[in-house]
Amino acid sequence: MSNTRTDTGTLLALTFVVSFCSFAYEFVYSELLTVMYGGTVTQYVITVGLYFFSLGIGAALSDDLDATDLGGNFFRTEVFLAAVAPAGFLLIVALNSVRIPQSIPSEVIWMTARLPVVVVGFLSGFELPLLTHMVDELEDGEATMPNWLRSTCGQIHEIMVSILGTVWNVKRTDGRRSGLSLVLAMDYVGGLAGAVVYARVLYPGIGLIPTIFVLALLNGIAALVFVAHFGDWAWWPVGGGKRTSRELSIGHVSKTLLVVCLVLTASYAGVVAKHDTADEQLSELYLEQQIENRYPPGAMRATVTSQETTTYQHVIRYNRTWTGTGPNPYFTGRTEQCLRLGSAVQLCESWADSYHQGLVDVPMSLVEPGPKTNVLVVGGGDWIAIDHLREYDVSVDHVDLDGEFMQQAKTDPFFRTWHDDAYEYDRLNTTTADGYHYLQETNETYDLVLLDIPGATDDDLLTLYSAEFYRSVRNHLSDEGVVATWGYSPDSYPQHHKAFVNTVGTAGFTNQLSYWVREDLDSDGQSERVEKFYVFAPGERRPLTGDGETAYVRTHEQYRTVKWHAVPRYRGVRVNSIFHPNYDILVDT
């Protein structure tokens, strides 16, 4: 009886562990797919949906597994899970790193990227039925439960029945718990633990890449514990040895699979022990490949020089080096330093200046310089836009969410080159807050609002591209006020563009100026496009050129042809709203 209790306890503990892993895998995949493809809600909902669907398929097919080899099949399932889960993770990363021929339909890529979710769900679907049958096979009911578990379950049961009795008619039963109820209960507890530990410990503590290896390690250990406990292993201290005919037998376990399991577990243990290095190297590899894929094959080499994660964003510094044949068409020289925030390129040495000229020096032609002009900068935690505004002696309110990044940028030599300690500007008032909430609370009005914000690459930024946000900006504009922002190319991102202009138009902006900032980036005597900008206004405004034009606009001929136009509107394109998001506004970079 004592051995049987230990066996049941072992199986229930294993149920907890495999359920923990199974749930956590899906969260890892959901987050990874969000990072890769954007759209948090979509990715989480689809992943969870696919997971439960596959779980059901696996559970339904589990009846076809040989009932005389429950243990062997459970062991195989765990080894396969330990192997497949990290492989699936790497597959998704690879899909976003390697060059995929353009002839492959996007549906195929979509399905391939969700395959790991389906496979892990399918394999996990075997676990519960197998464990239930094994618990049932050991001994019927409560008598086989370890004393501590029986006592705990009894107490919880008493409390739950008392609560039920307040609303329903209940009749206390002292009968035995079935194997299914025990395993299900442990499965749900394991699932909850997996969710909480993933959200509070693993993901924030060690990151996504090491987490998948921790989970696979747990799966591997679970498989080894199982085979050690229920196999014929004399060295196993608990419950090993010869078993009676009533007890669970593990059946035949392939030695090859056992070796595979040992190797995988040992490898994962090594990765987890060195998780900092593994995380850094894998993410560097992925990032470098992703950056290089933006250029023709063999044209550019990317080397990540540093990366850190603040509360709000992933800050990546890298060098890009021209390795193509012929002259470098992207920038002067062979190597330059760039900065990415998340998946969006934020700054490169070759165009840092011209970007900020487009953001600040062009729209400054539409307002008067001097302290009476109020300017709001949303974002711009690198302080560079502030440096440009300082030249016009205007009063600046600056709001950025990421105080940690702003603090680092103050002293970072790379940023200091560009911002020239602009954070010390005496007409500057900086607030660390979310731009949308800041506008909800402030009573200030502004002559110029500059949106120096990241691209619309994930759900977290949907608010800053919503009709509510732009309506709020419009409500804080002075009579002649305008808002300026950078924008994606309508040719490269047509769906984003249409959703964006419809959103801005709905917020009450009727007129727009759009222009490209150009610079001779590669010193070939011809200027290239650097960035596209938009200035929006809720009515007619003065022309860009003329009496008020800045020195920058005056010296660049291209702005002579830039005129105000009506903000276009496109039929059948939904506005992006906070409570009814249009995910077309998100771009896949």
Partner 1 sequence: MNTSMRRRKFLYTSGLGALGALAGCLGSKSPPPRKSSVVADFETSDGSLVIDLADETWVMSRYEPNHQSISGVSPIGIASAKGKGGGVGGRGATGRGSGGYSSAPRTKHGHAWFYGGDYADDWYEDHGNEVSRYGVGIAALGIAYLGSTEAMKDDAPDAGPVAWDETFDNPDDTVAYDLTSRNEFNRDGWYRVGTHVVGSDTDHDFRWECYDLEVTGLGDEKFTIEEQWKVSPRI
CB of 8 to partner 1, least distance (A): 30
Q: Tokens 């990363």 identify what position?
A: 93
Distance CA 382, CA 84 (A): 42
* 316 burial type by CB count under 10 A (0-12 exposed, 13-18 middle, 19+ buried): buried
CA dihedral angle for residue 250, residue 254, residue 256, residue 262, rounded to 10 degrees: 0
Quick one: 312 or 470, whose CB is closer to partner 1?
470
Closest distance between partner 1 and the C-beta of residue 516, in Å? 8
Give the end-to-end CA distance of the chain in Å, rounded to a whole number.
61
Q: Is 553 exposed, middle or buried (0-12, 13-18, 19+ CB in 10 A)?
A: buried
Phi and psi at residue 438, in whole multiples of 5°?
A: -60, -45
Pick between residue 113 and residue 224 the one whose CB is nearest to partner 1.
113
**Residue 450 three-state SS:** strand
| Cα→Cα distances 261→80, 331, 582, Å | 9, 50, 46
CB of 488 to partner 1, least distance (A): 8
CB of 402 to partner 1, least distance (A): 25
Asked if 230 and 138 count as a contact pair (C-beta separation under 8 A), the reply is no
d(CA 433, CA 380): 12
User: Tokens in use for 124?
Assistant: 């996990």
User: How many CA atoms within 13 Å lie on the side-chain side of 467?
Assistant: 16
The alpha helices in 412-493, defined as continuous H runs, are 413-419, 435-441, 467-475
Q: Which is nearer to partner 1, 102 or 245 (CB)?
A: 102
Reported as type and span, the H/E element at residue 527 is none
Q: Report how far residue 215's alpha carbon sits from residue 142's, in angstroms, rounded to the nearest whole number.
A: 30
Q: Which is nearer to partner 1, 17 or 32 (CB)?
A: 32
Min dist CB 589 to partner 1, Å, is 7
Q: Is 512 helix (H, G, I), strand (E, B) or coil?
A: strand
Residue 107 or 441 with smaller CB distance to partner 1: 107
Nearer to partner 1, 215 or 501 (CB): 501
Report the SS3 class of residue 63: helix
Q: List residues with catalytic annotation.
A: 452
**Judging by beta carbons within 10 Å of its beta carbon (0-12, 13-18, 19+), is residue 515 exposed, middle or buried?**
buried
**Is the Cα dihedral 493, 497, 498, 503 positive or negative?**
positive
- Identify residue 207 by its one-letter amino acid code: G
CB of 570 to partner 1, least distance (A): 4
The residues that touch partner 1, with contacts defined as CB under 8 A, are 42, 46, 50, 53-54, 57, 60-61, 63-64, 99, 101-103, 105-111, 114, 118, 294-297, 329-330, 489-495, 498, 510-511, 514-516, 518, 521-522, 526-529, 540, 558, 561-566, 568-573, 584, 588-589
Smallest separation, CB 296 to partner 1 (Å): 4
Q: Which is nearer to partner 1, 445 or 558 (CB)?
A: 558
How far apart, in whole angstroms, are the C-alpha atoms of residue 505 and residue 502?
A: 5
- The CB-of-411 to partner 1 minimum distance in angstroms stands at 31
- Residue 391 or 528 having the CB closest to partner 1: 528
C-beta closer to partner 1: residue 175 or 572: 572
Among 302, 284, 304, smallest CA distance to 293 is for 302
Given the complex with partner 1, which of 62 and 373 has the nearer CB atom? Answer: 62
Nearest-approach distance from CB 347 to partner 1, in angstroms: 15
Q: By the 8 A CB rule, do 292 and 301 touch?
A: yes
Closest CA to 208 of 296, 286, 95, 153: 286
- Report how far residue 24's alpha carbon sits from residue 194's, in angstroms, rounded to the nearest whole number: 5
Q: How far is CA 173 from the centre of its chain?
A: 48
If we measure between CA atoms, which residue out of 342, 232, 328, 237 comes closest to residue 290?
A: 342
Residue 330 Cβ vs partner 1, minimum distance, rounded to whole Å: 7
